Amino acid sequence: MTRKFLFILAAAAIFSTLLNAQTPAWQPPSGLLTLTLWPNGAPGEQPNQLPEVNTTTPKDKLIAGRPVIRLGNVSVPTITLFPAKGTNSGVAVVVFPGGAYHILAIDLEGTEVCDWLNSIGVNCILLKYRVPDTGPYPKSSAALQDAQRALGIVRQHAAEWHIDPHRIGVLGFSAGAHLAAALSTHYNQRLYPPVDAADQLSCRPDFALIIYPGYLAVSEHGMEPNPDINPTADTPPAFLVQAEDDPVHVENAVTYFMELKKAGVPAELHIYAQGGHGYGLRPTALPITHWPQSAAIWLHTIGILH
């Protein structure tokens, strides 16, 4: 009897392990279109990748009183289309969640951002890019490859998705904000062999929203500009937000703003006294969490939203 009971327990444990291994740690909301970026596998794909996992633990900090999904081990990047609700402006934004190129804050800096963009008539495309250790470029080019490919796919499907191909921007947080700046300055040449017709289309964003960025100023060299992020006159206009007390250093936003100014690129910079890092769009008592209203005004100011 004891052996039979132990056998049943062991079988149940194995079944539970297999079930967990097959159940994704995060899935897009039902009913939305999701596309795999690389139909034949991502460039440099390694065999026997670990399954995706939510790395959040009960000890992790809550944001505005709620937990965050910290998605790790992403080896199959995807894009998910969140169509605009109500009146479709034709504008689209590809969203890059942050997470130090180690994880993706897929709800705080992903799905919740898409909900806001949809509410103002903007189509959202959420990029689940590869992590960990996939950036910053040029340390690794994987995340930037995913971003380049994503922009091309969105332009390829623009008519089908009721998107204006000339009003497609990017919005990133933290490492994702660096990725937005990297794509804004590395769009002339793909970092991978072409896959299909999507890679023949421009992957230049038409505008960029860069929220509490990292990696744009080099702390080891007195917060000098990152030499691998070089704005030119053709770099898309940017909206930047950061808090003075951000432990990742407010100089990241300030430095990139000044580099854009030197290049003659229109940019808008918002610096707040308090806010720290990693607040997403979740409202708190701090004024910085109202940055989305300023961002929406900016989109009207530069003529993206009419």
**173, 280 in Cβ contact below 8 A?**
yes
Position 209 in a domain: yes
Whether 200 maps to a domain, the answer reads: yes
- Helix residue ranges per DSSP H, 88-141: 112-119
pLDDT tier, 276 (very low <50, low <70, confident <90, very high otherwise): very high
Does residue 16 sit within a domain?
no
Tell me what the mean pLDDT of segment 181-185 comes to: 98
Within a domain: residue 278?
Answer: yes
As a residue count, the chain comes to 306
* pLDDT 10s digits, 102-139: 999 999 999 999 999 999 999 999 999 999 999 999 99
The structure tokens listed for 283 are 């409202």
Q: Residue 25: its pLDDT value, please?
A: 83
Q: What is the pLDDT of residue 23?
A: 56
Least confident of 8-17, 160-169, 172-181, 191-200: 8-17
pLDDT in tens, 188-215: 999 999 999 999 999 999 999 999 999 9
Sheet holding 34-36, edge to edge: 34-36, 78-82, 123-128, 92-96, 168-173, 208-211, 238-243, 267-272
* Residue 19 domain flag: no
Q: How many domains does the chain have?
A: 1
Using the predicted structure, report yes or no on whether residue 1 has a pLDDT greater than 90: no
Q: What is the mean pLDDT of the chain?
A: 93
Q: What percent of the chain has pLDDT over 90?
A: 89
Res 47: pLDDT: 82
* CB of 113 closer than 8 Å to CB of 280: yes
Buried b (16+ CB within 10 A) or exposed e, 41-74: ebbeeeeeeeebbbbbeeeeeebeeeebbbbbeb
* pLDDT for position 152: 98
Amino acid at position 205, single letter: P
What pLDDT is recorded for position 221?
Answer: 81
**Strand ranges (E), 25-67:** 34-36, 53-54
Cα 143-178-282 angle, rounded to 5 deg: 105
**φ, ψ dihedrals at 271, nearest 5°:** -115, 130
Going by C-beta distance under 8 Å and a sequence separation of 6 or more, which residues neighbour residue 217?
Answer: 223, 224, 225, 226, 249, 251, 252, 254, 255, 256
Whichever domain contains 203, its CATH number is 3.40.50.1820
Query: Where would I find the H helices in the chain?
Result: 2-22, 112-119, 142-156, 175-185, 251-263, 291-301
At 116 the pLDDT is 98
Which domain, by its residues, includes 151? 33-43+50-301
pLDDT of the residue at 114: 98
Per DSSP, the three-state class of 194 is: coil
Which whole number is the average pLDDT over 231-242? Answer: 98
The 10s digit of each residue's pLDDT in 21-76 is 445 689 999 999 999 999 999 999 888 789 999 999 999 999 999 999 999 999 99
- Identify whether 25 is part of a domain: no
Residue 10 placed within a domain = no
Residue 236 is assigned to a structural domain of this protein: yes
Question: What pLDDT was estimated at residue 145?
Answer: 98
